[in-house]
Amino acid sequence: MDAGAVAAALEEARFDARQNSRHEDLGDDVRGRAELAEWERLTQLLADAAPGTVYAPEADDVVRAELAAAAAAAAREAELREAARIAARADELQALRELGTLEQTEPRHGDEAVRDELTRRAGSYVQVDVDAWFAYALAARLGHYRDPAAREDAAGLLPAPVLAHAALLAELARLVPGVGVGVDQLAFAARLAQADPAATAQLADFLVRVPACAEGSPA
């Protein structure tokens, strides 16, 4: 908008304000006063600018500040909703642990953050049963881990021992069909991963090549 258009809008807002002031039920028109104040501000903004300046909201410091404040408020609201979701899911998983049915539950998107919450509640102590559940679910591709993208994301969301445990479980299950990778099976894999995750991951990588080595061995 140029100065002429802004001035015309200001006059219209002033006219509306005068009309409203004559009616008792419109005398307390907060929105109308706000609009009038805004047109007055824009008129002064263009009056202070170089001749011929056209008003552009994206160059208005006040508008930019209001948009930034709205974005910050929306982000904060999203954070609060996510924190509430994580807390509720942590309560749910804790209840399942106490019932002894955690291993029967499939993980959901975002449960990696729930693991962090459970760890925080436990005073940062490693919770072996929860980590074993994650490793089992990742190895067996349960829940949201059916999605390759979720498994890829897990590499940056879960700690090294859990990832190494899952990798070893997956390779052992592949090498010994029918062995299963349940939470209560192959318990030694969890102990290896907790003791030395790097070596456990290297062992899993080595086992990937075992079938090829066996097929190339002399009879």
Q: Where are the domains of the chain?
A: 3-55, 65-215
pLDDT single digits (tens) 41-77: 888 888 888 788 888 788 788 888 988 999 999 999 9
What backbone torsions phi and psi does residue 39 show, to the nearest 5 degrees? -65, -35
The alpha carbon of 102 is separated from its chain's Cα centroid by a whole number of angstroms, namely 23
Contacts of 19 (CB under 8 A, 6+ apart): 26
Question: Which one, of 32, 34, 55, lies nearest residue 43 by Cα?
Answer: 55
Q: What is the mean pLDDT of the chain?
A: 86
Helix (H, G, I), strand (E, B) or coil at 126: coil
Asked which of 26-30, 52-56, 81-85, 125-129 is least confident by mean pLDDT, the reply is 26-30
Six token digits for residue 85: 């979701």
> Distance between CA 135 and CA 170 in Å, rounded?
9
Helix (H, G, I), strand (E, B) or coil at 54: coil
Q: Which amino acid is at 172?
A: L
Q: Average pLDDT for residues 24-47, to the nearest whole number?
A: 78
The alpha carbon of 129 is separated from its chain's Cα centroid by a whole number of angstroms, namely 24
pLDDT beyond 90 at 94: yes
- Residue pair 143/107 in contact (Cβ under 8 Å)? The answer is yes
What pLDDT band is residue 219 in, cutting at 50, 70 and 90? very low
